[in-house]
Chain A
Amino acid sequence: MGQLGGFLKIHRVGFDKRDPRARVGDYAQYFGLQPEEELRRQGARCMDCGVPFCHEGCPLGNLIPDWNDLVYRGKWHDASVQLHATNNFPEFTGRICPAPCESACVLAINDEAVTIEQVELAIAERAFGEGWVVPEPPDRRTGKTVGVIGSGPAGLAVAAELNKSGHTVTVYERDEGPGGLMRFGVPDAKLPKTVIDRRVALLEAEGVRFEYGVDVGAEVSVAELRERHDALVVAIGSRVHRDVEVEGRELSGIHFAMDYLYQRNRFVAAQEGRPSRAPEPGSEIVAAGKRVVVIGGGDTGMDCISNANREGASRAIILDVYQELDRSGRDERTPWPLPPKRTLTTYALEEGGRRWWSSEVTGFSGEGGRVTQVHARRVTGTSSRDLTPVPGSEFAVAADLVLIAIGFSGPEHAGAIEQLGLELDPRGNVRTRQTYRTSAPGVYACGDARVGQSLVVTAIAEGRRCARIVNKDLGGSPMDADREQLAIGAWSGVEDHTLRHEAEAAGSVRLGDDFFSGPGGPIKDAR
């Protein structure tokens, strides 16, 4: 697989990124795929590991070495089949996954990882381009229905899988379009929303129903949904913001990052003529011409910088509480093959703005109720638990707009969770004990709502696994000879098979008696 010794001859060539100075002027996807020739060379770097850590590093268990090899050999269709066998939405993960597979790539021990994510996206886009991705509705319906609350990646995945099994699925989404944070949090420069729409259209064609603008618990009661469906899946994500509890927090001009990103994404949608809600008058968050300070150096923080740059902020700074990382991006706590806790740089800072490391916010001050300064100090330490302030290191940064991007603490409890009376775990997530079954019979949870904030790829994996449990609890399906299990080799172990005998005469020509014959003709009553 791959090319023998290919990794020694070929260097990594990642996504083809647009010039930062040019791309900051629009909202189009900021990166593209290398030409096919290069992609195949990149596939050849895969070393055909005896133990492919990438495959384990991927929460979905994508068969990475297998499709790297197929791409290397130009077998795109086979690659697409193999890829879709484990991943419902490779066009999402190929764009916005932080690629724990690449962190786990064996080449990454002492070299640059195979550009796995790019190969994945290439396969996905090739499949769409070639028309290989078509609706595949189930040929039979079980008569069971399932309601899915939330249309983020977990909700979409659970819906897609249950629909494949023949259950009738309705997805309830409180916002005006599907995708959850993928739609409203992630900038179009990373994930054009057409990509989500393209996939959702396929799901609809396969029979999944979507109801938008339905806030479960408000517009429709949980009781009603339980009445309506044989099973209910809670996939509402983890949307309660973490906050900085320091002096001056009440000043205006200090917002949660997600509120800003929602507005920006809706702004782009409106510009492109897609339905979108406009912000409540007076609640607009604008970065144009402002000194923007973002607290938190994760993906959300970077997305804020990206938008601020595009809006024309006068200056953008990230205050990152953690130490500067070395070139590998690793610290002792996350040796290979674990994914590094943090990323070294991101696309946004290439376009403008700076990150100040080891900077902990201690307060805000302002004038006229508006924030003008962020107060901070230097700290040392590598994790949130062992941060130690450096005496005398206090400083202040001028700010007109402060965006808090330090993550989410858990799912919103008001609404569905409370109405269903779901048990929670100590961190405030829905408790399910590995089975995706919540404390309420017939109600399941998956994704960030169950595990806390995580990655898109984890959410998809959650949705897929949850669907298996739901399907099982619904009594299974005639289509349970389950293509995914077959594809990845997760062969059913000891479950009782009902002996299914199908007389599939078509395409099957039986052997005649003359075949099982010998001297004197066939033996009567044999076989």
Chain B
Amino acid sequence: MHEMKPLQAVGLYHPENEHDACGVAFVAKLTEGADHGVVDRALYALENLEHRGAAGADPTTGDGAGILIQLPDAFLREAAEVELPPLGRYGVGMCFLPHEQARHDELVELIEGVVAREGQRVLGWRDVPVDDRHVGVVAGKAAPRIRQVLIGAAGELADEGAFERKLYVIRRLIEKAAGADLAIPSLSARTVVYKGMLTAPQMSGYFPDLKDPRFATRLALVHSRFSTNTFPSWELAHPYRMIAHNGEINTLRGNVNWMRARESQLASELFGDDLQKLMPVVRQGGSDSATFDNVLELLTLAGRPIAHAVMMMVPEAYRDRTDLPPAVRGFYDYHSCAMEPWDGPAVVAFTDGRQVGATLDRNGLRPGRWVQTADGYVVLASETGVVKAAPSEIVRKGRLQPGKVFLVDLEQGRIVEDEEVKAQVAGQRPYGEWYAERVVHLDDLPERAPRAPRVEPLRSKQLAFGYSQEDLRMVIAPMAANGEEPTASMGNDAALAVLSDRQPPLFAYFKQLFAQVTNPPIDPLRESIVMSLATSVGGEVNLLTESPAHAHQLFMRQPILRNHELEKLRQVSHDVFHAATIDLTWPIELGAEGMEWRVEAICAEASAWIERGANILILSDRNLGPERVAIPSLLAVAAVHHHLVRAGTRLRCGLVIETGEPREIHHMATLIGYGAAAINPYLMFESLDELADRGLLPVDLDRETAEQRIVKAIGKGLLKTFSKMGISTIQSYCGAQIFEAVGLAPELVEQHFTGTASRIGGIGIDVLAKEALERHFRAYPRTGREVLPVGGVLQWRRDGELHIWNPDTVALLQHSVRSQNGEGLQTYRDFSRAVNDDAARKASLRGLMRLKTLSEPIPLEEVESAEEIVKRFSTGAMSLGAISRESHEALAVAMNRLGAKSNTGEGGEDPARFGDERRSSIKQIASGRFGVTPHYLVNADRLQIKMAQGAKPGEGGQLPGHKVDDYIAWLRNSTPGVGLISPPPHHDIYSIEDLKQLIYDLRCSNPRAEVSVKLVAEVGVGTVAAGVAKANADHVVISGHDGGTGASPQSSIQAAGIPWEIGLAETQQTLLLNDLRSRITVEADGQMKTGRDVVIAALLGADEVGFSTAPLIAMGCIMMRVCHLNTCPVGVATQDPVLRRRFQGTPEHVVKYLFFVAEEARELMAALGVRTYEELIGRTDLLELDEAIEHWKARGVDLSSVFAMPEVADGAPRHRTRAPDPVLDDALDWELLRQAGEALERRKPTRIATRVRNVNRTVGGLLSSEIARRFGPEGLPEGTIEVALTGSAGQSFGAWLMPGVTFTLAGETNDYAGKGLAGGIVTVHPPADAGFAAEENVIVGNTVLYGATGGRAFFRGLAGERFAVRNSGAHAVVEGVGDHGCEYMTGGRVVVLGPTGRNFGAGMSGGIAYVYDERGDFAGRCNTELVELEELSEHDEAECKDLIAEHAARTGSPVAQRMLDGWDACVGRFVKVMPRDYKRALAERAAAAAAQHSAEPAGA
């Protein structure tokens, strides 16, 4: 049955959370004349990208595939049974209609009616033939009736452009009138789109049109989709009307809001009155790709060239770039006043039917490779190797680069280079001059005397805004002293804001969203080149026109204004800028109701000011005093923002907030996220004198410097916050609402935080007002009090915020496991009662739940034994490094004795432990890949990919140098004393299909292990988990926001992620809806403490439960929260040998504790009448909201969506019942293993030759796994197995390659070549008959040698971005690299013989790179924060030359040979890139060795 309605929200599942990522390609024919070969080539490419797509529970149903081509005029003339006007005078509308005849007829009538009313005529209809044999079962049931409507142009339309615009108007009118059961994938006189819920190979079978030789075009855009869902949706397949997209638009919410705000100001001569018919431009509920398509379509049809529109929407990183032409920078500056970037990791392939191109976002996080063949075709695709062409037929090849546009102009029949495109677009108008003339810099405005501010005592203000001593001492003082947000550790066990009696600020109800799997977070420090804090205020004008006035913006370098800067704004005297200040306080006489009244009044005032011409609105709570109460600043900003968006006047002004309330990074982030362009947090500044008086600041710190440091700290913190979501610029973060509300009433969210996810209800504006008054009453009447409340949020205090870990619960747990007599269980019961009945009830969502117990429990003996239940437990990933060796091993031993699993965390494991009970059965693979070797991987039962961590999702990690002792450094392949950085993203996971690839890599590395993916709860985690299931994982972890950490920024611990209860329930519901639940194990973790926690997790859908903090506490942790300082006084989380000796924990402590937990769970199971754990899973019907909870604020909480049970077929499994489908069957490695039999049995040297294609992925992985299993880390002697390959290798070529294996490839590779290289040798060179110069063409893709620990690699040609990222031991030679070369490298050698991109050596703390700097300009592209550039020493020269010689020998590189031949002449051009820390550590070692040497008796 046909069903095309967008899926409805069910329970916690919401279709808006769907993600997709995919394979994308286009083919263009440079020579005149359409031909069918373009379609053939495109479909061939698509089929070879098939492994990037995915299928759901029904393997025959794809997530979607499609093709966009030019109108096949000749074909249509014959196939359509109507007389067609000349090309350009008719349009084709691809329509997805319902099968039901009556409705179909209605819609047809509607379409024809609109066409007629718009003055065009319907020429006729063509039923698009389809072949049902080529569609999956599920997809087939949902297939629409596909028909093409043929529309003829009316005579009066001037040109083809006008006709195209009219078709656009017609389509929008139909879409708005029709509803969800009609979709029009394309309606154009230039292009047509065929697409459906198909797999790539099904395309040409399903649409016989595609095979027709007359079906000809000069361009084709194809796409194969990997979606997180499996719900039937034909419409969501790509391409859209102008684009096919691979990636994510993170800032979508904001972009949509801003577009909506712009609509009232749109005007276009070209559209004239028709423009109104298009509104809203952005179709409600569209995906990010669809929305992007909508806006691109508007911009192009309104007259901008497509390349221009794309550059506006996806600008490259241009600020502070000296290498860009001034006109191009001027273009970007100018357009930044008109539109915020659509930010996210994206490849957008676009076409208007005449030009076809692709662009990559500023970060360059998606792959794109292209080739031009001798017969005049250009093929661009997500992977190389998707073209049938002999090497000799290839003229050029290359890759998409960050921020660059790759364009093929069909009319000119050539590729237009990025520089040329941009110069041409930027040269259309004097954008740079317009910008320079009109933009006003805040710094240039004259200083103003402050308008007499209200004089209120500091203390009164601090009290009224809810300041605590903790805020002063632990938040503001460190920022002022160090210019950085403070670091903290352990998890967040404090009460949720909605349960807190301590009047938490409104900010605390908002939880930051973050990137996981479907898009990568960014490292704002190491990749600062893409980040920007620049912001502006002013009024925007019509987006569809261009004039100097568009550049009238008031520019600020960053968004935190000091008092004098705000004053400049307030009193701006300028012909364009006019500021108005609005009072955010209300008179106390009005009581609590006064706040809502005042909020409405503020909105009205804002509108009134705009009418009067104000374009800078300053919202100010400076008027706070005894008789006036301040509205929460966030409420004020969001209320005004949404009010103005609704009124259509939002873009006529910029919002600035002057407020005493915010004091943490998260506070600032929320204000900006809800629309503030700039913030003046005046009370932070005013509190500085007090801090100085109290001795909390360095004595020599003056007020001026302290203020500057606060501004700097907030700026850095903000970058960190939006980089978590993969957003690079404040301009696109502003208004993007990257938050989920936890505990706010739906009405409040709908009205003032419109569009924010909020799923459990909560408090309304009345409670906010009441709490504002309570804060106020702490300040007034004034009593001359000298002390602020202590706080108690970051550190426990008796009367401060409630924490579940408090002196009582910590002590009871420790006493229970230490009790020598039989009182342990009794003490544990006291513990669990204290947690379950008291602390959790007042702090957590599960505390609000009630178990529906039976009046008569079943006998306890009938319940599954504790021995069985504990097998479902695991410990969280705590690395050796974060915690001490003693505690790490004790945990492992305990879990092994229980038959449960310990998790080694990120940082490797001592091989000595692999054979005994200290072995961790879960081995983690995190972004740093520390200690991840084949030997490590092969010794695991479960391999866990850490996508995010509960304490700090979206962030990387850092192990400070003082925790890296000899042992840790040995395990991590690094240098003792040198700090280690784990990047925020896995550089091989920028999307769901990348994750699928890493899972495949790991399966190769250890086919016997399960693969797990660790996620953190946030809105949409369920759909990500569904994607994980489809990516072939066995296991997924849903972590709560409250998980622990060894070190992370304070605001991350507090403000990112949501409770696991919601995330787990969403996961369970989404997996059930997708029929994926049976093939994946679900684990929940995050502050698990008691048997009740375990039972609730099971009821909400968890097969397994993870514990971290509680087992540490059982072993002696007392929640010092100083893990990051290395001073743990009980030896748990320290590497200090003196402190480690204090560790008193034993495995028995953990064993006892977990048995107590299991026993408690059994008792609860008996009370529920459930005999086995398995039967508990997903039984949300046994849970209800506890009506007995009397907490006044909790009354609005509604957990029905958490308890919702999706309607699924009877008997559909609610827990895991089977393994995922095997994926390794067709691996090329089976053949290698067969041929290498004797080498593996008897170490006999073996030669193998084979062909390889891009569908052969992770070649060498299984072979290496077998070697590691048999021979351990040393592998085989070099050269034992030599494999000669030819062709285009798929991703992860040579991954994990072990010593003894040599791969020599004549051809090229895709991304991730040499991933985790562990001692093998990888060589890639072009085939002998290649028609191009190797050194000018790309031979390996992005992210080569990621996490390599040893071995050698030689690449004759260019590599992409992030060459040798996180390399810790491999030696490599390459002839040129893209941006971010040698990023985060900690060891090994890299020789670059050719060009380098920007940001070389960022985060590089070890190893050495030798870069051939032919033009002497390398220094400008090197990130010298951690490295120094030096001349080569003699020893270096020799090392470098040896590697080049080997490169020449192995690859036949003429470049290398020339260098060797003229070595003396070129050696001077080599630059040595030397990490400073590494150099220092080496020097210290040498000194120590010398000292030891000299201490030995002379002559001995």
Residues of chain A touching chain B, judged by Cβ–Cβ distance below 8 Å, are: 1, 4-5, 7-8, 47-53, 55-57, 61, 63, 65-66, 73-75, 78, 81-82, 85, 104, 106-107, 109-111, 332, 335-338, 479, 481, 483, 485-494, 497, 499-504, 507-512, 514-520, 523, 526-527
Partner among B605, B625, B789, B1119 whose Cβ is within 8 Å of the Cβ of A523: B605
In contact, B454 and A509 (Cβ under 8 angstroms): yes
A486-B778, A504-B626 known; A511 vs B453 contact (CB < 8 Å):
yes
In contact, A519 and B783 (Cβ under 8 angstroms): no
A5: chain B residues within 8 A (beta carbon): 1125, 1127
CB distance from B108 to the nearest CB of A (A): 54
Instruction: Give the distance in Å from the alpha carbon of A526 to the alpha carbon of B606 in the complex.
Output: 11
B799: chain A residues within 8 A (beta carbon): 61, 485, 488-491
In contact, A50 and B796 (Cβ under 8 angstroms): yes
In contact, B623 and A335 (Cβ under 8 angstroms): no
Cβ contacts B788-801/A at 8 Å (1 or 0 each): 11111011111110
In contact, B807 and A516 (Cβ under 8 angstroms): no
In contact, B582 and A516 (Cβ under 8 angstroms): yes
Nearest 4 A/B pairs, CB to CB: A518-B580, A50-B1121, A490-B799, A56-B807
In contact, B797 and A489 (Cβ under 8 angstroms): yes
A61-B798, A504-B780 known; A486 vs B787 contact (CB < 8 Å):
yes
A51-B807, A74-B695 known; A491 vs B502 contact (CB < 8 Å):
yes
A499: chain B residues within 8 A (beta carbon): 588-589, 591, 773
In contact, A109 and B626 (Cβ under 8 angstroms): no
A489-B789, A502-B781 known; A511 vs B454 contact (CB < 8 Å):
yes
Partner among A53, A110, A494, A511 whose Cβ is within 8 Å of the Cβ of B811: A53
Instruction: Give the distance in Å from the alpha carbon of A503 to the alpha carbon of B1120 in the complex.
Output: 45
Stretch at the interface among B612-620, B914-922, B1460-1468: B612-620
Partner among A52, A82, A523 whose Cβ is within 8 Å of the Cβ of B787: A82
Instruction: Give the distance in Å from the alpha carbon of A488 to the alpha carbon of B791 in the complex.
Output: 8
A sample of 7 inter-chain contacts (CB < 8 A) reads: A50-B1121, A74-B695, A109-B1116, A491-B503, A491-B789, A511-B453, A519-B580
In contact, A51 and B787 (Cβ under 8 angstroms): no
Known: A110-B1129, A110-B1130. 15 other contacts (CB 8 A): A49-B1121, A50-B1119, A63-B790, A65-B795, A66-B790, A332-B820, A483-B785, A489-B800, A499-B773, A503-B626, A504-B626, A514-B451, A516-B623, A523-B608, A527-B586
A1-B473, A74-B695 known; A335 vs B818 contact (CB < 8 Å):
yes
B1242 within 8 A of A: no
Instruction: Give the distance in Å from the alpha carbon of A52 to the alpha carbon of B780 in the complex.
Output: 31
Partner among B778, B788, B800, B1127 whose Cβ is within 8 Å of the Cβ of A8: B1127
A493: chain B residues within 8 A (beta carbon): 501
In contact, B1118 and A49 (Cβ under 8 angstroms): yes
Partner among A66, A481, A509 whose Cβ is within 8 Å of the Cβ of B778: A481
In contact, A508 and B781 (Cβ under 8 angstroms): no
In contact, B807 and A500 (Cβ under 8 angstroms): no
Instruction: Give the distance in Å from the alpha carbon of A510 to the alpha carbon of B789 in the complex.
Output: 27
B663 within 8 A of A: no
In contact, A488 and B1129 (Cβ under 8 angstroms): no
Interface hits, B437-476 → A, CB 8 Å: 451-457, 463, 468-469, 473
B1116: chain A residues within 8 A (beta carbon): 109
CB distance from B12 to the nearest CB of A (A): 30
A332: chain B residues within 8 A (beta carbon): 819-820
In contact, B781 and A519 (Cβ under 8 angstroms): no
B81 within 8 A of A: no
CB distance from A170 to the nearest CB of B (A): 26
B786 within 8 A of A: yes
Partner among A51, A109, A337, A520 whose Cβ is within 8 Å of the Cβ of B795: A51
Majority secondary structure, B binding face = loop
Cβ contacts B9-27/A at 8 Å (1 or 0 each): 0000000000000000000
Most buried by B among A4, A82, A85, A493: A493
Instruction: Give the distance in Å from the alpha carbon of A81 to the alpha carbon of B583 in the complex.
Output: 36
A56: chain B residues within 8 A (beta carbon): 798, 806-808
Name the residue on B nearest A515 (C-beta). B451
In contact, A489 and B468 (Cβ under 8 angstroms): yes
Most buried by B among A50, A104, A481, A494: A50
Partner among A49, A479, A510, A514 whose Cβ is within 8 Å of the Cβ of B623: A510
A110-B1142, A486-B787, A489-B790 known; A519 vs B612 contact (CB < 8 Å):
yes
A486: chain B residues within 8 A (beta carbon): 463, 778, 785, 787-789
A510: chain B residues within 8 A (beta carbon): 454, 623, 625
CB distance from A9 to the nearest CB of B (A): 11
A501-B589, A518-B609 known; A481 vs B777 contact (CB < 8 Å):
yes
B1470 within 8 A of A: no
Name the residue on A nearest B814 (C-beta). A335
Name the residue on A nearest B1128 (C-beta). A47
A491-B501, A507-B457, A515-B623 known; A50 vs B490 contact (CB < 8 Å):
yes
Instruction: Give the distance in Å from the alpha carbon of A111 to the alpha carbon of B1127 in the complex.
Output: 14
B913 within 8 A of A: no
Instruction: Give the distance in Å from the alpha carbon of A504 to the alpha carbon of B455 in the complex.
Output: 12
B257 within 8 A of A: no
In contact, A55 and B1121 (Cβ under 8 angstroms): no
Name the residue on B nearest A485 (C-beta). B799
B722 within 8 A of A: no
Instruction: Give the distance in Å from the alpha carbon of A8 to the alpha carbon of B1125 in the complex.
Output: 13
B1439 within 8 A of A: no
Name the residue on A nearest B594 (C-beta). A499
Instruction: Give the distance in Å from the alpha carbon of A106 to the alpha carbon of B583 in the complex.
Output: 49
Name the residue on A nearest B608 (C-beta). A523
B1482: chain A residues within 8 A (beta carbon): none
In contact, A504 and B782 (Cβ under 8 angstroms): yes
Instruction: Give the distance in Å from the alpha carbon of A61 to the alpha carbon of B806 in the complex.
Output: 13
CB distance from A288 to the nearest CB of B (A): 47
CB distance from A81 to the nearest CB of B (A): 5
CB distance from B1179 to the nearest CB of A (A): 35
Name the residue on A nearest B473 (C-beta). A1
Instruction: Give the distance in Å from the alpha carbon of A499 to the alpha carbon of B592 in the complex.
Output: 9
Partner among A336, A488, A492, A526 whose Cβ is within 8 Å of the Cβ of B797: A488
A488-B799, A519-B612 known; A500 vs B789 contact (CB < 8 Å):
no
B598: chain A residues within 8 A (beta carbon): 527
A48-B1122, A109-B1130, A507-B455 known; A501 vs B626 contact (CB < 8 Å):
yes
Partner among A49, A81, A516 whose Cβ is within 8 Å of the Cβ of B581: A516
B785: chain A residues within 8 A (beta carbon): 483, 486-487
In contact, B1127 and A487 (Cβ under 8 angstroms): no
Most buried by B among A7, A51, A107: A51
In contact, A338 and B503 (Cβ under 8 angstroms): no
CB distance from B802 to the nearest CB of A (A): 11
A512: chain B residues within 8 A (beta carbon): 451-452
In contact, B614 and A519 (Cβ under 8 angstroms): yes
In contact, B579 and A518 (Cβ under 8 angstroms): yes
Instruction: Give the distance in Å from the alpha carbon of A175 to the alpha carbon of B499 in the complex.
Output: 50
Instruction: Give the distance in Å from the alpha carbon of A168 to the alpha carbon of B1130 in the complex.
Output: 51
Cβ contacts B618-644/A at 8 Å (1 or 0 each): 001011011100000000000000000
B1435 within 8 A of A: no
Instruction: Give the distance in Å from the alpha carbon of A494 to the alpha carbon of B592 in the complex.
Output: 14
Name the residue on B nearest A82 (C-beta). B787
In contact, A55 and B798 (Cβ under 8 angstroms): yes
CB distance from A500 to the nearest CB of B (A): 6
CB distance from B718 to the nearest CB of A (A): 26
Partner among A52, A488, A520, A527 whose Cβ is within 8 Å of the Cβ of B601: A527
Name the residue on B nearest A506 (C-beta). B782
B609: chain A residues within 8 A (beta carbon): 518-519, 523
Most buried by B among A106, A481, A504, A527: A527
Name the residue on B nearest A491 (C-beta). B502
Most buried by A among B453, B585, B781: B781
